Amino acid sequence: MAILTFILYAAAATLYGLHFAQRRQNVGLAATAALAAAVLAHTFVLGVYSVHVGHLPIVSRDEAVSAFVWLLALTYLYLEMTTNERAMGAFIAPLLALLFLIPMTSHAPVERPALLDSPLFAVHAVTAMCAYAAFALAAVVSITYILLFRELKRKQPGVFFARLPPLRALDVMNLRAITVGLIFLTIAVIAGVVWIGQARVYAPNDPRVQAMSLTDPKISVALVSLIIYAFQIYARRILGWGGWRAAWLSTIGFASVLVNLLIVAYLVTTSHSFD
């Protein structure tokens, strides 16, 4: 089923690319249908996996990436349905297909440590994934904003001008996605801090619990992301940094998210390594 899910994500990426190039309505509808089918298949995969391992797929690195892909796909489908705009699918669908390769080729499921049997951990992990999905959407919107802005700045409207929403619409979408993501990330950080406090009481001898501090790369990079996005909201409201400045900040912020989700998670040993 995982292979079918990847095929559907890849088909959606191809169809969205064709729709972006040709602007044919039937191709766009097929792209949406393929992505919706991929999400349904992915939901089935996550459900079967959860039943098999006995917990939500939010513990290991591969589980986190899979949940992130699923949430991003759902978020984009909601955006598409509410705006009737498919142009950004050409940027998002390839990212979904590429990232899904990671959990699809992952090793066997891991048993959840007793340390993670806490509702606070579930809140922490789920809200963090929701935040990352919102930030990913904001980054894609920001990249399209920058591409369109540069095209207009050269006074040579072309491919992006004909296919992307107006700059103002993209800027508003970026602000909304960042605001939602920042709320979720703040909740994730607060829940994580409280959970760590509880874990130090109930599992004082666990080396992972003792390593959970600001010096842990996973935590420090997450806080850097929080600061970047909080500064973006501040700069927009106080300094007037909207438009292309906000777009660049969103792009930089999501780069820090990817560092945490992929580089730190897979290449650096942290207190969050449960697999």
DSSP state of 51: H
Banded pLDDT at 142 (limits 50, 70, 90) = very high
User: Average pLDDT of the chain?
Assistant: 85
Q: Are residues 143 and 77 in the same domain?
A: no
pLDDT at 274: 58
Domain boundary among 110, 143, 169: 110
Are 29 and 69 within 8 A, CB to CB? no
Instruction: Give the tens place of pLDDT for each residue, 226-241.
Output: 999 999 999 999 988 8
Taking only the tens place, the pLDDT of each residue in 236-261 is 999 888 888 999 999 999 999 988 88
> Could you tell me which residue, 136 or 195, shows the higher pLDDT?
136
d(CA 29, CA 52): 35
Residues 90 and 118 in one domain: no
My answer on whether 101 and 160 are in the same domain is no
Residues 262 and 275 in one domain: yes
Note whether 62 and 102 are within 8 A (CB): yes
Please give the pLDDT value at position 17: 92
Domain's final residue, options 47, 78, 110 = 110
Question: pTM of the prediction?
Answer: 0.85
**Domain limits for position 45:** 1-110
Residues 31 and 153 both lie in one domain: no
Average of per-residue pLDDT across 40-69: 83
Per-residue pLDDT at 163? 77
Q: Do 131 and 103 belong to one domain?
A: no
Distance CA 269, CA 1 (A): 31
Q: Cite the DSSP H helix spans in the chain.
A: 2-22, 25-53, 61-83, 89-104, 119-153, 159-163, 167-202, 207-210, 217-234, 243-258, 265-267
Please count the residues of the chain: 275
* HSE of 19, CA atoms in CB hemisphere, 13 A: 25
**Do 231 and 126 lie in a common domain?**
yes
Domain match, 143 and 105 both: no
Q: Contact, 1 vs 23, CB < 8 A?
A: no
User: Are 19 and 96 within one domain?
Assistant: yes
Torsion of CA 218, 222, 228, 234, to 10 degrees: -160
Domain count along the chain: 2
Q: Above pLDDT 70, what percent of the chain?
A: 89
Q: Are residues 50 and 105 in the same domain?
A: yes
My answer on whether 128 and 4 are in the same domain is: no
pLDDT above 80: residue 159:
no
Co-location of 122 and 105 in the same domain: no
Using the 3D structure, point to which of 110, 137, 167 is the last residue of a domain.
110
Question: Tens digits of per-residue pLDDT, 90-140?
Answer: 999 999 999 999 888 776 666 666 666 778 888 888 899 999 999 999 999
